[in-house]
A and B are shown apart, each in its own frame.
Chain A
Amino acid sequence: MSARVITITSGKGGVGKTTATANIGVALAALGHRVACIDADIGLRNLDVVMGLENRIVYDLVDVVEGRCKLRQAMIKDKRLPELYLIPAAQTRDKTAVSPTDMVRITDKLREDFDFILIDSPAGIERGFRNAVAPADEVVIITNPEVSAVRDADRIIGLIEAEEKGPAMLIINRVKPEMVRRGEMLTVDDVVDVLAIKLLGIVPEDEAVLTSSNRGTPAAMDEHSKAGQAFRNIGRRLTGEDVPFMSLDGGGSILQRFFRMIGGS
């Protein structure tokens, strides 16, 4: 059984790649899968902080690439979920310390021991992005319901299609239902309409995500967080389960609301 390598990327910065990587990792590990998260953002590492593993880093990805340690030594085991591991990025180097070939080599070594390998991509379309995408079997695009984020996501999808990396999947993060209802924010349909790729999840804006990121406890570990629930659903969808999209305003799924709109108006 060989792992699926899934790269999480966005083009634009600050849309929630790292948070999504940590939460999807937690969600998949909670379902009993063996998960390795790799932080490919060399020089600006964050995933360790969001996952709450910062204080346990001894070796990092660049140490592995440059042969200063064995791959196993750089893997940090999450104590809360037994099958969740992190390979942190180096904080002191830059993207050129790792090549796309290195990434393919490292993921190939991990494939036998895991079910999922999640790669947190840096923002942008340069070397760091190419490193993150090189080993990917599947690509998940994160965007926010904002024109600029959607524009960048579209560009990234074009690049991924050009690399023939298979159909990308979409997560729309930080959706604010009240703003959508008031017509002040792009709707999920608007975004899917432009990007025209498979929708993997809709994550509502949730202050708990911020506080949990700061604490190093991803929201997916919190039973009461709506965003956490959205990420747990994404984890289940990735494993092939058919999970309906959450309603963001309290009642029924989006699909049901849609029917009501047609029938009632």
Chain B
Amino acid sequence: MGEPIEIKGVRDGLLVVMPTECEWSEAVARLLKRIDSQPAFFKGAGVFLKVGGRVVHRTEIHALQKQLAFRGVTLKAVLSESRLTSGAAKMLGLDTELGEPLQREPEELEPIPSEEIGSPGVLVRHTLRSGRTVRHEGHVVVIGDVNPGAEIIAGGDVVVWGRLRGVVHAGANGDEGAIVCALELAPTQLRIAGYIAVSPQDGPREFRPEMASIKNGRIVAEPWG
């Protein structure tokens, strides 16, 4: 059923073009069938998977990665037009482009000198709706709202340029110096390191930017800025 899966040799391995017209599970089944029909050809190969615009979740990529590893095939990269799929691949430590790093001139990447070194984090530039989660070992900055049912877990600080109404955990690795800032701080639950607090139920109030931190063994919120 369906057209055969396109497989091309590229410099560092095989480029596999996943069919786009069928379900992901069927595409995977077809690929594995193909590999099983020529095991000697595929064994030891590195595969660059081209998935088009389809949204493939992290668990799906991970499952395929394991199935390929079982057959002696290494998944090297997932090439996708979807930001979400690329993000999922990156989370698994996979490349998202064909490996051509040697062609790039290293001189071009010379860093811009800076006086401040800062510390790493992620920037999320959209509203986090219910059911979405952001986890990062560094800081998390959201430009947009964090709605009830959304969750942020950060090793460092959390800054929300918007309304924070979901669950937030700063200093998740135990850093009691971590802070949480939001233009409107009304989280369902706020955690810093090992401390947990809920928003006070004091009815409608005027919101202003606030910053939460641990002071004298409890979480307190103070005007920010």
By a beta-carbon cutoff of 8 Å, the part of chain A in contact with chain B is 99-101, 151-152, 154-155, 157-159, 161-164, 194, 196
Whether, in the assembled complex, B46 has its beta carbon less than 8 Å from a beta carbon of chain A, the answer is: no
A-B CB pair tally, cutoff 8 Å: 37
Q: A162-B55, A163-B55, A196-B127 are in contact. Are A154 and B148 (CB under 8 A)?
A: yes
Starting from the known contacts A101-B21, A158-B129, A158-B130, 15 additional A-B residue pairs (CB-CB under 8 Å) come to A100-B23, A101-B22, A101-B23, A154-B130, A154-B147, A154-B148, A155-B129, A155-B130, A155-B131, A157-B129, A158-B131, A159-B131, A161-B129, A164-B82, A194-B165
What's the tally of chain B residues with a CB closer than 8 Å to chain A?
18
Kindly state whether residue B159 has any CB partner on chain A within 8 Å. Answer: no
Of chain A, the residue at the smallest CB distance from B23 is A99
* Given A154-B129, A154-B130, A162-B84, residue A194 in contact with residue B23 (CB < 8 A): no
Asked if B136 lies at the interface with its beta carbon under 8 angstroms from chain A, I say no
The B contact surface, by secondary structure, is: loop
Interface centre among B126, B127, B130 (most CB of A within 10 A): B130
A99 CA to B1 CA in the complex, in Å? 15
CA distance A151 to B128 in the complex (A): 12
User: Complex Cα distance A159/B23, Å?
Assistant: 18
Q: Which residues of A contact B82 (CB under 8 A)?
A: 164
| B149 interface hit (Cβ, 8 Å) | yes
Query: Shortest beta-carbon distance, B167 to chain A, in Å?
Result: 13
Q: Which residues of B contact A152 (CB under 8 A)?
A: 130
Q: Which A residues lie within 8 Å of B55 (CB)? A: 162-163
Which residue of chain B has the shortest Cβ distance to A193 in the bound complex? B163
Q: Is B132 in contact with chain A by the CB < 8 A criterion?
A: yes
B151 within 8 A of A: no
Which of these, B84, B127, B149, contacts A151 with CB under 8 Å?
B149
Nearest-CB distance from A21 to chain B (Å)?
Answer: 24
- For the complex of A and B, 4 pairs with smallest distance between CB atoms: A158-B129, A154-B130, A155-B131, A155-B130
CA–CA, A163 and B149, complex, Å: 19
Contact in complex: A196, B23 (CB < 8 Å): no
B148 to chain A: which residues have CB within 8 Å?
151, 154, 194
Task: Give the residue of A101, A158, A163 whose beta carbon is less than 8 angstroms from that of B132.
Answer: A158
Cα separation A157 to B21 with both chains bound (whole Å): 24
Is the Cβ of A154 less than 8 Å from the Cβ of B149? Answer: yes
